Amino acid sequence: MIWVDREVKKILERNNKLEWVDDMKTPSGRIHVGSLRGVVIHDLVYRALLENDKDTKFTYVIEDHDPMDAIPSYLDYDKWEPYAGKQLFKIPSPEPGFANFGEFYGKEFIKVFESINCHPEIIWMSEVYKSGRMNDVVRTALDKVEQIREIYLRITKVKKANDWYPLNVVCEKCGKIGTTSVHKWDGEFVYYKCNLEMVAWAEGCGNEGKVSPFNGNAKMPWRIEWPAKWKVIGVTIEGGGKDHMSAGGSFDMAKVVCEEVFNHPAPFPLGYEFFIIGGKKMSSSKGVGTSAKEAANILPADMLRFLLVRTPIERALDFNPFGEAIPNLFDDYDRCFTAYFAKLESKVPDGKQGEVIEDFARIAELSQVRPLPTVRMYLPRFRTIVNLLKTRTNILEFFEKQKGSALNGYERELLEERIIYAEGYIKTYAENADKIELLESLPDGLALSQTQKAFLRKLSEELKKIKNEDRDQIQEIVFSILKQNNLQAKDVFKAFYQILIGKEFGPKASDLILEFGIKTVIGRIDKVFEDKSEEEPEKPDTKFPMITDSALFSIGDEVKSKFSSITVGVAIIKGVTIGKTPPELQAEIDSFLELQGALTTEQISTYPEIKSYRKLYKETGVDWHSRRPSPEALLRRIALKKGLYSINSCVDAYNLIVMTHRISVGAFDLDKINLPTMLRFAKEGEEIHLLGDAEPTMYKAGELAYFDQVGGYNIDFNYRDSKRSVVTETTKDLLINTEGVFDISPKQVEKVLQETIDIIVKYCGGTVEQVGIVTET
Ligand SMILES: [Zn+2]
């Protein structure tokens, strides 16, 4: 669940009839990009409430009745200084076409947030005051001045003078509001003075007088006006940057004033961390940082919105556009969009992996500025566009070739927009970025592992078979090589990037191959193998001893004669430490799952290993439709997007081997097993209490299972295991069984046994005390 849904869940619990989301800003100059974060955060909460069928309004208050309290550095000081202290809506616009200063900068900001799909109803605060809607709260604040002074002292530790009133009036002589103070209230008029030196940023005229405080003649100070506005508008949700939301800050003060002075509930607070772009070196006017308008030139609307949607509100956001940040952001965006398409096509798996995809899809949905596509779209990669622009390739042609068909309207629009931003990126921000260039020759000191070499050799072979430069086909080839050879993508790709670009990582393999050309890539790979002296001898096959000691394990004679092709691998590992599945193991599992994204149940049925187990089931009278051999059961969970259970570091580790090789493995708590063990047919009347069942199950005579001196500890070769022998976090010693039959060769069983031992020792430690296989062939 992403942050906005978490916040909204809390809001919905209050069960308000109407929710009113509001945010605000004083348009005293170009509005900083940080304020954009507030707009998007409020917009997302508003949308999520609407999705939950909550009656909700969303307003944005432009505080154009505030005084100008500084001259922005990009304006001529001498020209604008005389306006300091006057209200923004009474100061002329810096550019023609706008009624006043506040409207000019207010509308500039509105345009930016509307461009990223935020459309609150705009409230100009000057109009609210002028309309008289603030009159009641102004009167209340004046009447309750003593209470307000007391709250100031309590919350902010500031002692206000006995003749201080929470109001600034417009001086009838000089028109300034920032310079006046009120010292008396008689129920009809306030008595004020226009002070020469009250504030540093404006000079008053010294005028004194009395005036009605209503209908826009005056305004309240910010800490009182904020809660007053909540009451007048009816705001129920409003947040602010952490400077306002900290303990004892303006929100705390406003909350107390709202509840105690205006007798109105304070809104639900949405506190968020700051957002800046490029730190201080990007400041557009001293100390202000990148403006919202400038940000819109650095990133396209979707991307700017995406950046704000995906970052949890409690996390500070300092986006540095130099270097790789922009291409990385586009890649992240595409990843979320791809998740959205998966959701659209109902391809989201259950479990942890599915949750991540759901979150990604949700982020993509909420980040959209254009209408969301209703079918999967091809996304031209930003990083590739940047590279293509450098080599002056025909970009549209390139991507149409990559896609394998013409780009549709949506895709072309996306491409055109990305080209514009890629040009801007290259021009301004890419100087420090890593250049992706083909190395002239193999890098010096290249040391590749056997696995990496095997991958490269296979890749070269497969690429040679390709007739036309098709991205999907290349990708398919790369993935199937990984899958068929059980290779870790991260490990072998490192070699791939090293020989081409001299780095350990790079753009998507298929993109890079297309960019440099298939022939070039094949040529480079083949160079790796030109020097024969490089070749190391292949690792010899693992060969375990035959187990002849029936005090450990044996296969029953009847089984031997009926299924002579059965091979069983046995190992005893002592002194293991089993715990929760560690992140490294989870990462291995996740990368396996990633490669299995397109797995179908039909495909599972074609695997010779699965067919072999099914055949054995059939021949022992077990219906494999209702009882699935364990490798099949695991793979089916993946194909049916049900996600995998996470058990513990031992079980999850060997299940990865089971799924990879489609050969079953069982691990049992050796201390619960009474040696010797035997694989034999069950007899009439024997029973087993299966893990996860409330009641014991009766074996049918002739079912194949492992037994110890107590009874059976699994059922139907590898269908399920007994409760008593289960491996838990307290297990110290392990008995491992792995088994094959028919088309599963002893060699395969040996390989699986070796890998099972390796992965268990890697993640659980322990010492292998005994290991061997039993086979007739
Ligand atoms: Zn004055």
- When the pLDDT of each residue in the chain is averaged and rounded to a whole number, the result is 90
Residue 289: the pLDDT is: 62
Place of tokens 């050309």: 517
For residue 617, the model assigns a pLDDT of 94
Going from the Cα of 257 to the center of ligand 1, the distance in angstroms, rounded, reads 29
C-alpha 204 – ligand 1 centre gap (Å): 5
Centre of ligand 1 to C-alpha 92, Å, is 19
What's the DSSP call for residue 66? S
pLDDT band at 318 (very low <50, low <70, confident <90, very high): confident
C-alpha of residue 97 to centroid of ligand 1, in Å: 29
**Hey, which residues does 767 pair with through a beta bridge?**
574
Which stretch of 302-311, 356-365, 545-554, 653-662 has the lowest confidence by average pLDDT? 545-554
**Cα separation, 67 vs 178, whole angstroms:** 6
Residue 498 C-alpha to ligand 1 middle, in angstroms?
72
Interval 101-160: pLDDT, tens: 999 999 999 999 999 999 999 999 999 999 999 999 999 999 999 999 999 999 888 899
Q: Work out whether strand 240-241 and strand 271-272 pair parallel, antiparallel, or are unpaired.
A: parallel
**pLDDT range class, residue 567, cuts 50, 70, 90:** very high
Residues above pLDDT 90, as percent of the chain: 63
Question: What is the whole-number distance in angstroms between the Cα of residue 169 and the centre of ligand 1?
Answer: 10
Structure confidence by residue, pLDDT tens digits, 187-244? 999 999 999 988 888 999 999 999 999 999 999 999 999 999 999 999 999 988 887 8
Residue 518 to residues 29, 177, 463, 503, 555: CA-CA distances in angstroms? Answer: 54, 71, 7, 19, 53
Return d(Cα 414, Cα 418) in angstroms, integer.
6
CA angle 487–488–494, rounded 5-degree value: 110
Quick one: which of 718, 654, 710, 669 has its CA closest to 687?
A: 710
How far is the centre of ligand 1, averaged over its atoms, from the C-alpha of 83 (Å)? 12
Query: What pLDDT, on the 0 to 100 scale, is given for residue 288?
Result: 45
pLDDT in the model for residue 285: 40
Ligand 1 centroid vs 4 CA: distance in angstroms? 47
Q: What percent of the chain has pLDDT over 70?
A: 96
Distance 124 CA to ligand 1 centre (A): 24
pTM: 0.59
CA–CA distance, 589 with 510 (Å, rounded to integer) = 23
Model confidence at 317, pLDDT cuts 50, 70, 90, reads confident
CA of 127 to the centre of ligand 1 (A): 22
Q: How many CB atoms lie within 10 A of CB 341?
A: 16
Q: Where does the pLDDT of residue 777 fall: very low under 50, low under 70, confident under 90, or very high at 90 and above?
A: low
pLDDT, residue 434, reads 55
Helix, strand, coil distribution of the chain in percent, nearest 5:
45, 15, 40
pLDDT of residue 432: 47
CA of 191 to the centre of ligand 1 (A): 13
Q: Report d(CA 643, CA 135) in Å as an integer.
A: 61
Compute, in angstroms, the gap from residue 288 CA to the centroid of ligand 1: 29
Is the per-residue pLDDT at 719 higher than 80? Answer: yes
C-alpha pair distances (Å), 644 with each of 227, 594, 637, 659: 51, 13, 7, 11
What is the distance in A from the centroid of ligand 1 to the CA of 218? 13
pLDDT at residue 435, as a whole number: 61
